Structure 1
Amino acid sequence: MSRFFSASYDSDSASSSSEEDLLSSSDEELLSSSVEEEESDDSYFNDSESESDIDSDDSDSKPYGPDWFKKSEFRKGGGNKFLKGANYSDSGESEDEGKKVVKSAKEKLLDDMQTVFSKIDTAEMTQDWITILTEFDNISRLLIRAQQQNYGTPNIYVKTLAQVEDIVGKTSQSDIKNKAVSKAYNTTKQRVKKAAKENEALLTKFREDPEAFDGEATVEIGTSNSDEISQYGKKSINLSSVASGSSEAAFFSALRIVIDSRGKKNVDQAGLVKTVEELLETAKSSYETIMAYLTLIPIRFDVSGSMSYQPIEQWKLCYNDTMKFLTLLEEKVDTYVVSELAQRNEFLEEEPEADENGVKKIVGSVFAFVERLDDEFNKSLLNTDPHSSDYLARLRQEQDIYNLILRTQLYLEATTSEEDQEKVLARPFVKRLDHIYYKSTSLIKIMENNAWKSFVPPNPSKITPFTGEVNDEYAINLVGKLSESLRKNKNGGIRKRAILYHVYFSALNIDFNTAKTMLISSKVQAYINNSDPSLQILFNRVVVQLGLAAFKLCLIEDCHQVLNELLASSHLREILGQQTLQRVTANSTSSSADEREQLCLPYHQHINLDLIDLVFMTCSLLIEVPQMTAFYSGIKVKRIPYSQKSIRRALEHYDKSSFQGPPETLRDFVLHAAKSMQKGDWKKSIDYLSSIPTWSLLPNAENVLTNLGERVQIESLKTFFFIYKRFYSKISVDKFSKLFNLSNEKVIQILESAISEYDINTKLDDSKDFFIVEKGDEITKLEEVALKLNKEVKIAKERSNPSTARR
């Protein structure tokens, strides 16, 4: 019976026959071998006790605890050998049980490379070039991982490279009939050629003595040139030493590793920048310098990619690098050209083939860097307090970015064929208009003069030529030519944006009629609701600027018509893109930062909201006060719709209030001007309007106020006539002339126009001295009050006797 079920177990009976029956022969062998091993080598287990120690400790008492029934070798220290299976060697253990081996990352990587070698060896038998290409790509990626982890160039990679090179050399493309296999063969041939060039020294050494090479240690990165390898981050290394030698392949090998490291986790971007800067210093040719700049500038932007905007110092570094890069391209324009339309070159170290003009085109986008700089500039403005000195200091750098935009445009014009210019130059034109469309011609002249003086252009611009003098005509023509060029673009969004830019500029600097005609003929308003938010915001800004342009010309009715629908919105700040970025972020459901930034504009592009309100309320004052007076005096008037900011609503609220104080706010001043107009006191009305300081925001404020005063006189005359005509049978023209400081001819003209418009039963006598008022359907003030009272009485009766009302 097992001792586990024994009621009374004596430790002295451990060697009894009943216990021996429980032990199998294999267990006994394991036990004996274990004991012998422990006795022969006590140092193998740290602080472990031998079986004799365990027995001696319990010689006079029974075993206790949860493992008292276990065999002695399973107790206490004896279990250690089973926990250390990977490091424990037992000669008595069968090979079938196996041992779990923990491999390092380097060993796993080498095993993966060995697997690739075996697969390529198998694919060689069937000429499976698709598999060969796939596996060669795999081992190339494994090499990059090895170099990033500072494992060097493993010998198995060199062996595989030589293997594939031999396979390619033994195969002729004419023997391959399948199109897909032929394509895989050609691609493999190109990539092997590139890899062999990069590892030429190692490949030569391998072919001299493959067996000896295979037995050597792995070649470490940079050991052939420099022993200094400084690590930064978790998975990045300083590769500048690779390029310090004379080998061109070494430079591009290091550059390739940097490019492949971009965007990966745990890579120190600042360290990558430092590495490429050192590579830039070691560049020995213009091509190497160009490739280094094409790598360096994007990585600089990556450093601040997680921030709300790029720090100013980082921005300046990117700006300086872009300027140096552009200067290099301008100097080498006859040899190298960086273009988005160039064919992509899979091998960095191989320069593109020269065209018929001897120019080598490198794929890349210079303007993409400029565009990103401009975006970061706008982000910094959106994240800076607009009322601080920091905002003004940052805004001064707008001239720098505008100079760079113009310079890039000239470079692209000089290096792009005429048939491709429409596509390539669209973005520079849009960015250039971004910076000038909302400015007056005087500010544009300053920017253009500074831009053209900042550098000597290698090639003049054919689209926006510079004659050496910048005046108002130049500024107007500049915006017109840029917009006209963009209207030919196939992109509908760019076409709409160009039209709206031109309309805004025309409304601000030229006149209302030109801008209005341009907008109506473009029919942009018919499709604007389906456009992206930034275009809708731009359209709303155009509408507001049209209204202000009409007001400057004292076209009161046109201004009121343009602004009435827009001012009906209670979210004027939002629809004009003038809310803060923090507020947009808090209220927007969009998760994209770029989409949120499209919903707001930098502060210096804002249209003053107080000026918009003042202009609209003044227009409402001049239109609605005479109409209200005519309506309440019994004249049939076609009532026009009014918005929340209409003066009519303000007057109704003012008449109901129990206390009216002196004017304090902008709205109060306009309201008091309206009350004075109702009384016929035009002088006081003009005084109230003129005392509002917001008028100073208009460029021609004095001229506007003069025209506004004349219009107030006219509308005050109409209002006075509508109020008092029912109390007179004759009205003297001369009296009106003196009362409103207008000539007799002007008074006659105004009153005849009002009589005709409202169909009033009044006519001018033959002497043209009096207006004869014929009594018609007009009611007196007392009759008007009586009618209102009678209506209220009827309503009260119906409410008190609802049953009678139903009958």
Structure 2
Amino acid sequence: MSRFFASNYEYESGTSSEEEDLLSSSSEEELLLGSSSGEESDDSFFNESEEAAQESDYETDDSEGKPYGPDWFKKSEFRKAGPSGGAGNKFLKGSNYPGSSDEDLSDDEGRKVVKSAKEKLLDEMQAVYDNIETAEMSEDWVSILNEFDTITRLLVRAHQQNMGTPSLFIKVVAQVEDLVSSSDLNEIKNKAVARAFNTIKQRARKVARENEDLLNKFREDPEAFEKETTVDLESSLDTGMFGAPKPATLASIASATSEVSFFTTLRIVMDSRGKKNVNQQDLLRTLEELLVMAKNPFESIMAYLTLIPLRFDVSSTLSYQPIEQWKASYNDIISLMNILDENRTTYQVSELAIPTDSIEDEPTADSNGVKKILGSLFSFVERLDEEFKKSLLNIDPHSSDYLFRLKDEQSIYNLILRSQLYLEATLPQDEQEKLLARPFIKRLDHIYYKSEKLITKMESSAWKSVSASHYSSNFIAQPETIDNEYITKLVTTLSQVLSKNTDGALRKRAALYNIYYHALNIDFYQAKDMLLSTNVQANINTSDPSLQILFNRVVVQLGLSAFKACLIEECHQVLNELLSASHLREILGQQTLQRVTSTGDDREKQCLPYHQHINLDLIDVVFMTCSLLIEIPQMTAFYSGIKVKRIPYSQKSIRRALEYYDKASFQGPPETSRDYILFAAKAMQKGDWQKSVAYLKDIKAWNLLPNVDTVLENLTERVQVESLKTYFFTYKRFYSSFSVKKLADLFNLPEDKIIMVLDTTISNLDINAKFNEDKTILVIEKGDEITKLEEVALKLNKEVKIVKERLNPSNNHR
């Protein structure tokens, strides 16, 4: 009888699979021979003679020599013959029952088979295999999908119990993979079944790829592979290493580190790193125990060089390293550097060291008696900094968690400075500038976007943290007082060193860091000259996305720097092209990590933590204010008949905003920053500079500027000047002369300023006007320009013609 029927039948709970197995013909024969020969059973199926029982061994038909019908599914204990020759019962066992004893008679429940957790798990996996085999006959892909999900959960339980990967699991994977490959999706008409088929196809492919080696081994020799119950996690370990007859698991490593040598256990951990089905937490615990066991600095250094990267590997699949693990990694790096500082005349960790054949062998001492161990100390610091940045990108920037996390930036900066000083003390003198590029660029990465006050605080704390190490820098020595002059020298020196000894990308990044710092803290013209001299913009479009983002940030910072110096034309010129882009947030790297379409490390490179962002509202307000001061007078001059050179404008210019405003059927009070600038523009068109300045001062974004009072003062004077020009362009057609004194009182400007502004405007635009000899009156000479009434009449006449053409289209063809 096939197991097909037995595997699908649901027996009572609490019985084992052995109790539910069906009796073979040979077992029935033994039971019948052991029963009483003189009594007959009421059940005809159990009244077979000895010859009939022997014939059942050779019969292939299930209807002869075996129970059938409903009695087939009875438990084996109830089908066995009792002492009276009738149907047996486990509660009525007699002394003549085969295998019975006096002890059995006193046991009401009988003997139960106790199974281990491993055996139960294997039984469940075997049931899954049978269920899939059953569902295969009816092509029930929904059931196959459910069973495959079940066995993947069972695999997790197997790993939790240190069982490794059971061979039954590999057998099921091969079974499903063969079933999928032999089926055709086009033949499946039901949508739900087709969806289940696609799902199981993808999952089976993924699981097969993860267990490719074991699957190949199974297909090479299925019979030999099935003999192994499970595939041990560490089958390559020495079987006698821990005094055990079977391969050692990671749990045994963690508990037996004191029983073996230090380097033997360390080698096992290093060999186990990165392997599948290995509990990484066991490896961490083992290394932590090894640190306690370490008897000399060399053993401690080797343990830390293995422990630190392993901590990063544990969280490699996560979006960022958990903060507790990050702090544990930070403490490990600090401990390693403390050991290196205490033994700097004996042991040094260097990337230039010569590798040894075995980890037990200490390196050969050089002429100075120093043993150099192969390792990259700063790579640990770089990885720690990367995980710190990832955590900031994944934490809500508006929460208190972000602020608490941001406090760790000082710790990581201290570590960068300390590692730089250690490398300067251990690296060869002739190669220091080239090999110190990574620490230098990391230092600039943390300070270039900050104000001088913040950098001063960071540098002061960093130098205090490394004062006990007794290291000094050959490039930027520790000053007696850290002031703005030192900060400028620091940024300039680091950038110059990187520009001389690095490749193209790193050289450009260092130059852009320096330009950004100078634009933010020093001077616009100096930063502009530096940008033009480096010629970074020549091929920036072919550079790395992160470098393009940095370049865009530099351009924006240059524009803000020009605005802070009240250089309105320069600011408008710098920001005009950049702000014409529709995705300003993306090109500045200020989008959220979830919106980035790329995958891998490029996602983090295209995003910046929130505290590095440039306020977009401030950028918009600055550009629209510059557009207001430049375009409003030019628009007024153009509409008054003066020939002016029209400048290109973007979608965010004030001219475009006024066009939408004039088309709107309802104009409410100003609410946003753009609304305030728009109302300021309308007031300027009327020559009301006071109301225009009042609207501009109500914008809250100005508080983000460090010199807000100076900016608003310069902005007020510029609004007065541009309002004067607008007033002159608007009303010169209605007046034959202007009094300089009245204009000075109207716009609150000195008479000399009024004369200089109007004289420059008249000469630049070739306006028919001139001052009298005393320069107290500006006389307007009437020319060919039309009056306001004539301008309105011409517009109405043109509109009338358009309306006539629409109403009488047939007259146009005559």
TM-score normalised per structure 1: 0.72
Aligned pair partner of 1:309 in 313, 317, 320 = 320
Cα 1:148–1:768 shift into 2, 3 Å: same
- Which residue in 1 is equivalent to 2:529? 517
Aligned pairs (5 A) from 1:443-462 = 443-456=454-467, 457-462=469-474
- Which residue in 2 is equivalent to 1:17? none
- Which residue in 1 is equivalent to 2:27? 47
Q: Give how far 1:557 is off.
A: 0.3
Distance 1:614 1:301 in 2: 44
| Residue 242 of structure 2 corresponds to residue 222 of structure 1 | yes
Distance 2:26 2:335 in 1: 65
Aligned pair partner of 1:619 in 605, 620, 626 = 626
- Which residue in 2 is equivalent to 1:500? 512
Distance 2:728 2:803 in 1: 36
1:264-298 Cα shifts (integer Å, max 9, x gaps): 11111111011011111111222111111100111
Cα 1:606–1:66 shift into 2, 3 Å: farther
Gaps of 5+ in 2: 1-22, 34-46, 77-162, 168-229
When the two chains are superposed, the root-mean-square deviation of aligned CA atoms in Å is: 3.3
Q: Give how far 1:643 is off.
A: 1.2
Distance 1:341 1:800 in 2: 89
- Which residue in 2 is equivalent to 1:600? 607
* Contact 2:56 2:64 survives alignment (8 Å): no
Cα 1:359–1:739 shift into 2, 3 Å: same
Distance 2:676 2:263 in 1: 72
**Equivalent residue letter for 1:746:** K
* Contact 2:164 2:231 survives alignment (8 Å): no
Distance 1:230 1:318 in 2: 31
Q: Give how far 1:632 is off.
A: 0.6
- Which residue in 2 is equivalent to 1:668? 675
Q: Give how far 1:610 is off.
A: 1.0
**Equivalent residue letter for 1:779:** I
* Contact 2:26 2:57 survives alignment (8 Å): no
Aligned pair partner of 1:707 in 714, 718, 735 = 714
- Which residue in 1 is equivalent to 2:138? none
- Which residue in 2 is equivalent to 1:475? 487
Aligned pairs (5 A) from 1:212-361 = 220-223=240-243, 237-238=252-253, 241-242=256-257, 250-361=261-372
- Which residue in 1 is equivalent to 2:769? 762
Cα 1:525–1:72 shift into 2, 3 Å: same
- Which residue in 2 is equivalent to 1:413? 424
Cα 1:655–1:353 shift into 2, 3 Å: same
**Equivalent residue letter for 2:610:** Y
Distance 1:591 1:507 in 2: 33
1:541-582 Cα shifts (integer Å, max 9, x gaps): 111100000000000000001111111112111111111122
| Residue 666 of structure 2 corresponds to residue 659 of structure 1 | yes
- Which residue in 2 is equivalent to 1:609? 616
1:664-706 Cα shifts (integer Å, max 9, x gaps): 1111111111111111111111111111121111000000000
Cα 1:512–1:522 shift into 2, 3 Å: same
SS of corresponding position for 1:488? helix
TM-score normalised per structure 2: 0.72
* Contact 2:618 2:702 survives alignment (8 Å): yes
Give the count of matched residue pairs: 622
* Contact 1:730 1:771 survives alignment (8 Å): yes
Aligned pairs (5 A) from 1:769-788 = 769-788=776-795
Aligned pairs (5 A) from 1:381-780 = 381-456=392-467, 457-584=469-596, 588=597, 590-592=598-600, 594-780=601-787
* Contact 1:559 1:619 survives alignment (8 Å): yes
Q: Give how far 1:57 is off.
A: 6.6
1:346-385 Cα shifts (integer Å, max 9, x gaps): 3111112222222222111111111111111111111111
- Which residue in 2 is equivalent to 1:67? 60
SS of corresponding position for 2:732? helix
Cα 1:60–1:766 shift into 2, 3 Å: closer
**Equivalent residue letter for 2:443:** R
Cα 1:57–1:787 shift into 2, 3 Å: farther
1:461-505 Cα shifts (integer Å, max 9, x gaps): 011111221001011111111111111133211111101100000
Gaps of 5+ in 1: 1-42, 78-103, 109-144, 154-218
Q: Give how far 1:324 is off.
A: 0.7
* Contact 1:229 1:239 survives alignment (8 Å): no
Distance 1:228 1:385 in 2: 53
* Contact 2:451 2:520 survives alignment (8 Å): yes
Distance 2:28 2:425 in 1: 83
- Which residue in 1 is equivalent to 2:188? none
SS of corresponding position for 1:726? coil
Distance 1:693 1:399 in 2: 31
**Equivalent residue letter for 1:638:** K
Q: Give how far 1:340 is off.
A: 1.3
Cα 1:659–1:252 shift into 2, 3 Å: same
| Residue 385 of structure 2 corresponds to residue 374 of structure 1 | yes
1:35-77 Cα shifts (integer Å, max 9, x gaps): xxxxxxxx9998352699697277599999992499999x999
SS of corresponding position for 1:49? helix
**Equivalent residue letter for 1:591:** T
Cα 1:151–1:358 shift into 2, 3 Å: closer
Distance 2:404 2:245 in 1: 43
Q: Give how far 1:418 is off.
A: 2.3
Distance 1:552 1:152 in 2: 69
Q: Give how far 1:320 is off.
A: 0.6
Distance 1:429 1:58 in 2: 96
Cα 1:615–1:253 shift into 2, 3 Å: same
Distance 2:305 2:25 in 1: 59
Cα 1:628–1:295 shift into 2, 3 Å: same
Cα 1:418–1:792 shift into 2, 3 Å: farther
**Equivalent residue letter for 1:318:** S
1:272-329 Cα shifts (integer Å, max 9, x gaps): 0110111111112221111111001111112222211111111111111100101111
Q: Give how far 1:231 is off.
A: 7.4
Cα 1:489–1:282 shift into 2, 3 Å: same
Aligned pairs (5 A) from 1:56-205 = 56=49, 67-68=60-61, 149=234, 153=238
**Equivalent residue letter for 1:552:** K
Q: Give how far 1:788 is off.
A: 2.4
